[in-house]
Amino acid sequence: MSDLYEYQAIDGSSKGPVDLVLLLRARNLGRLSNRTLVRKVPGGDWRPLASFIPSMTVMDDDGEPSVLPDPGPEPGGTDSGWSRKKYWMRVIKAWCRFEGRAGKGELHEVFSGVGVAWLAVAGAPSFVKCGFFPSLVPWVDLVSPLLYVVLAVLSIPLAATMVRRLHDVGRSGFFLVFLAVPFIGWLLLWYLSHGESRIGENKYGDPPWN
């Protein structure tokens, strides 16, 4: 039987145990970093993830080779084979997946960024037409179709993250239909999305890394 490890999530809680191969895969996908604290169970000392990984070349999720260094730079540094563009492409790709699971940290991250942007785009026309910027009203009327496209695009990561969060607590993504029920449905979704993660793998996949 292979050794098992625990790792510290961004909220300081311990997650696992999981196999080192899964930690390595999460490192390649950008969900964990070289500095993520990891320990061997039972009773091992907390050390950076990179100290458990010998120098090796692995294939990234996009099929490009990437070198896993010994303790050193974070992903994004020139020595690790990462680029800022590749990192953000992976983040966007992960946010738009409907399969798998998402932790509360990822839910908060997406909704505090993309969710605020959605509200700003949705509320901008009403704000302008209320008389605050009357000179912009013709421009708002002109770009209104484009605003609907932007809202549709921004809705994809919001819906995908909520579905994966429901998966993490063992619920089907079909619970998203409760968005159509004002107040009661919204409160139900809020309650379900803030439940505790199911320990270990469930029918929706491996546990989230955040």
Dump pLDDT digits (tens) for 44-93. Answer: 888 888 887 765 444 444 444 444 444 444 444 444 444 566 666 767 77
For residue 209, give every residue at least 6 positions away whose Cβ sits within 8 Å of its Cβ, in sequence order, or none.
7, 9, 15, 26, 31, 32, 103
Longest dimension (CA), the chain: 70
CATH code for residues 4-95: 3.30.1490
Write down the residue that tokens 């008389």 correspond to: 131
Q: What are the start and end residues of each CATH 3.30.1490 domain in the chain?
A: 4-95
Give per-residue pLDDT as tens, 30-48: 677 788 889 988 888 888 8
Q: CA-to-CA distance for 82 and 27, rounded, in angstroms?
A: 12
| CB neighbourhood size of 154 (10 A) | 18
Q: Is the pTM of this model over 0.85?
A: no
